[in-house]
Amino acid sequence: MSQLPVIGMMIGDPAGVGPEVCVRTAAAPELAGVCQTVLIGDLGVVRRAAVVCGLNLRFEPVSDPSQQLPAGVIGVVDSGGFDVERCEIGKASADSGNAVLQWMARGEELGRTGRLQGLVMGPVETASLKATGKIKDIDELQPTGTFMLRMSGKLRVVPLTEHVPLNDAIAMATPERIFQVIEMANASLRAWGFETPRIAVAGINPHAMFPQDHERVGPAVEKARARGIAAQGPLVPDAVFRQCMQGQWDVVVTMFHDQGQIAVKTVGFEGACTVYIGLPFVMLNVPHGTAYDIAGRGVAQHASMLSAVRTAALLAPGQPLAA
161: alpha, beta or left? (left if phi > 0; alpha if psi -120 to 50): beta
Q: Answer yes or no: is pLDDT of 268 > 90.
A: no
By DSSP bridging, strand 230-235 and strand 155-159 are: unpaired
Cα–Cα distance measured from residue 77 to residue 61, given in angstroms and rounded to the nearest whole number: 6
For the chain, the domain total comes to 2
- Per-residue pLDDT band for 140 (boundaries 50, 70, 90) equals confident
State mean pLDDT over 278-305. Answer: 93
CATH number of the domain that 137 lies in?
3.40.718.10
State mean pLDDT over 291-296. Answer: 97
Cα–Cα distance measured from residue 188 to residue 228, given in angstroms and rounded to the nearest whole number: 15
Under 8 Å between Cβ of 186 and 224: yes
Give the chain's mean pLDDT. Answer: 93
CA-based nearest residue to 285, from 27, 56, 41, 11: 11
- In sequence order, the 6+-apart residues with CB closer than 8 A to the CB of 191 are 318
| Cβ burial, residue 17 (10 Å; 0-12/13-18/19+) | buried
Say yes or no: 32 and 131 in one domain: yes
Under 8 Å between Cβ of 284 and 118: yes
What's the pLDDT score for residue 54?
A: 97
| Residue range 172-206, pLDDT digits in tens | 999 999 999 999 999 999 999 899 999 999 999 99
- In sequence order, the 6+-apart residues with CB closer than 8 A to the CB of 91 are 15, 292
Say yes or no: 99 and 193 in one domain: no
Strands (E), 178-226: 198-202
Under 8 Å between Cβ of 7 and 284: no
Whether residue 38 lies inside any domain: the answer is yes
Which of 223, 240, 264 is at the close of a domain? Answer: 264
Cα–Cα distance measured from residue 157 to residue 189, given in angstroms and rounded to the nearest whole number: 12
Say yes or no: 177 and 224 in one domain: yes
**Which residue range is the domain that position 220 belongs to?**
147-264
Q: Answer yes or no: is pLDDT of 2 > 90.
A: no
Whether residue 322 lies inside any domain: the answer is no
Whether residue 68 lies inside any domain: the answer is yes
State mean pLDDT over 102-107. Answer: 97
Question: For the whole model, what pTM was predicted?
Answer: 0.87
Whether residue 33 lies inside any domain: the answer is yes
